[in-house]
Structure 1
Amino acid sequence: MRIITGKDIASVCSWPMIIEALRQGHRLAPAKLADALVEDGGRKMLVRTAWIPGLASGTKAVTIYPDNPSQTPALPSVQGQVLLFDEARGDVVAVLEGVDLTAWKTAGDSALGADCLARKDMRTMLMVGAGAMAGQLIAAHRTVRPGIDRVLIWNRSAARGEELAAEISAGGVSAEFAADLDAALPQADLISSATMATEPLIRGELIRPGAHVDLVGAYTPAMREADDTTLRRGRLFVDSFATTIGHIGEVEIPLRSGAISRADILGDMHALVQGSIGRQSDDEITVFKNGGGAHLDIMVAHAVSSALARG
């Protein structure tokens, strides 16, 4: 069994590698999944398990403690590990640092969704939220759509939004803080949202035709980032039916209210990767809900473990 640290993960990972690992993983048989979420006030523990026939099996366990960053000394709000098993023998292959792996997996998932759905000619990206995932999402999306040469960043805290804009600009990409989200939405070809919102921030009436919307943040039944109009105007896809329907407020709340129907969720990542569904015109709005899931962690963990084993 190998212990794989965040430094080990960074030493072998790149966005093309991660995106390709997820693409190849979705060409295999669908994973068998099981999740458990336990809450104590605002604190949460999430355990996700997946078995991907022919690849690997494993479990990711993380805790989410929102107040940790304000402690003295400050602690990460999310902490956890991924346990990777050999699919044929059942023995533990590796234990991987969960937070670092999750960042690569989450942004890679969104980038693969965009690669399957977003127009090739996009130039302007709007990042909604400037938290821990924002920089990775910008980098991952620009990997599959390198024509993006302008990034707008909206955040509740202007200071953090301006700080991230400066970081992105220092990397050679034009970036600016957008104080008015409603004014920024119609400018964007790609909108990626990674917030802790429980009420919709993105107003669908303001989204330009042809845009792609990547919804990352909502991961509980009470959370949403986009309004009903966004889902009704756009053609809606998810990374996994099993980890979104019945689990995540982004789709479950409008399903319960009747704002959308099950038939409006047109497909998942397996169908997108296999090319049986996708964008149909340059003018349509596409919406992709990144719901996560242990199968994605296992695809990435297997790729990382294999790369390190090769030396």
Structure 2
Amino acid sequence: MAATNIPTTTTTTTTVPPLFISTATLHSLITHKSLIRHLKSTLPSLSTTTNSPLRHSHQTTPSSSFLLMPSWSTSPSFPYLGVKLVTHHSNNSTLNLPGVHAIYVLFNSITGQPLASIDATELTLYRTACVSALASSYLSREDAETLVMIGAGSLAPHLIKAHLTIRPSLKRVLVWNRTVQKARTLVDELREEGGFEGVCFESNGCLEEVVRVGDIITCATNSETPLVKGEDLKVGVHLDLVGSFTHSMRECDDEALRRGRVFVDNEAAVVEAGELVGAFERGVIRKDEIVGDLVELIKGEKFGRKDSEEITVFKSVGSAVVDLLTAQKVYESYLDNQSG
């Protein structure tokens, strides 16, 4: 798993300058398909040998925050330590800038040597989308045909591509955004990019209408008022909630959670996500009613979708261990390309 030319003993005296891996380079090193496969194969085993404290989150202004997400391995076969530094500025859309910016710093966990600095804005988009798609492979219907994308920010195209990768049955993608033109622009870009044979891309300005037809609904917004109403969800839908990571943020209402079997990416979701925290406080669901997490799904310790009619919900807030695994994949792919 670890690259063979990474120093793994404290006797190593060679000092190699750390790499800088830009966004442009990162695009050439991973795909949604390769990262989904990597997370599926490595996350279950490494989650038990990796320390990932709850993220440090600091409110810097009423509309912005600064987050630190450290993680390190205790396994000699995976000699990595890393931290992601993230800024979140919710008003950046007015400046035509992404709301999230990040950088990842990767070290050798045995020697402490810095290995790479990675432009992690795009790394975060890849890992977030691939976590959602990986969960969807267990929770959505195999015959799902319509994907609804709520939100048209920088994460939206990654979520769409990742879900299309995991569910080739999807034939229709509907995009909704509060600013209708942003949804139209995203649809035009996806059509122009191509590579999605047989998939129809559309924008729609009626939120209730798109929610009612979705087989998979994925949300990536900063909303503090519920967008997805449980009463609008059709039988058999899978609801993927990505945007919220504070108590004030909510992308769905209580009824959506009440109707669904709820899964999370990791334990942080039950203390950070506004949808879940609020539902616990209001007595809509209990913490022990959360069915399981992503690792339990991959290991088969918890069953995903049971039948074609049940509603499933997946809430993710991100985790430092997934960041570490994504950084590892990028770094080792870079070394492989150089040696090849």
Q: TM-score with structure 1 length normalisation?
A: 0.94
Range with bigger deviation, 276-285 or 232-241: 276-285
Match of 2:8 in 1: none
Contact kept in structure 2, 1:168 and 1:174, CA below 8 Å: no
Matched, 1:45 2:66: yes
Matched, 1:62 2:91: no
Distance in 2 of aligned mates of 1:67 and 1:186: 29
Q: CA RMSD of the aligned region, Å?
A: 1.6
Q: TM-score with structure 2 length normalisation?
A: 0.86
Match of 2:259 in 1: 233
Structure 2 CA distance for partners of 1:47 and 1:205, relative to 1, 3 Å: same
Distance in 2 of aligned mates of 1:21 and 1:151: 26
Match of 2:52 in 1: 33
Distance in 2 of aligned mates of 1:85 and 1:49: 11
Distance in 2 of aligned mates of 1:111 and 1:178: 23
Q: Deviations over 1:249-291 (max 9, x none)?
A: 1211111111110121111111011112211111111100121
User: Which residues of 2 match residues 166-245 of structure 1 at below 5 A?
Assistant: 166-170=188-192, 171=194, 172=196, 173-241=199-267, 243-245=268-270
Match of 2:168 in 1: 146
Distance in 2 of aligned mates of 1:247 and 1:57: 24
Matched, 1:163 2:185: yes
Q: What displacement does 1:120 show? A: 0.8
Match of 1:5 in 2: 22
Distance in 2 of aligned mates of 1:120 and 1:158: 30
Q: Deviations over 1:89-120 (max 9, x none)?
A: 33222111110111111111111110121111
Identity %: 33
Distance in 2 of aligned mates of 1:204 and 1:102: 29
Q: Alignment partner for residue 123 of structure 1, among 130, 134, 145?
A: 145
Q: What displacement does 1:178 show? A: 1.5
Matched, 1:17 2:34: yes
Contact kept in structure 2, 1:28 and 1:53, CA below 8 Å: no
Contact kept in structure 2, 1:237 and 1:287, CA below 8 Å: yes
Match of 2:7 in 1: none
Distance in 2 of aligned mates of 1:86 and 1:237: 33
Matched, 1:288 2:295: no
1:209 counterpart letter in structure 2: V
Where structure 1 has 5 or more consecutive residues not aligned to the other structure, the ranges are none
Contact kept in structure 2, 1:6 and 1:100, CA below 8 Å: yes
Matched, 1:297 2:326: no
Contact kept in structure 1, 2:43 and 2:322, CA below 8 Å: no
Where structure 2 has 5 or more consecutive residues not aligned to the other structure, the ranges are 1-17
Match of 2:10 in 1: none
Larger radius of gyration: 2
**How many residues are paired up?**
308
Q: What displacement does 1:29 show? A: 4.0
Structure 2 CA distance for partners of 1:197 and 1:300, relative to 1, 3 Å: same
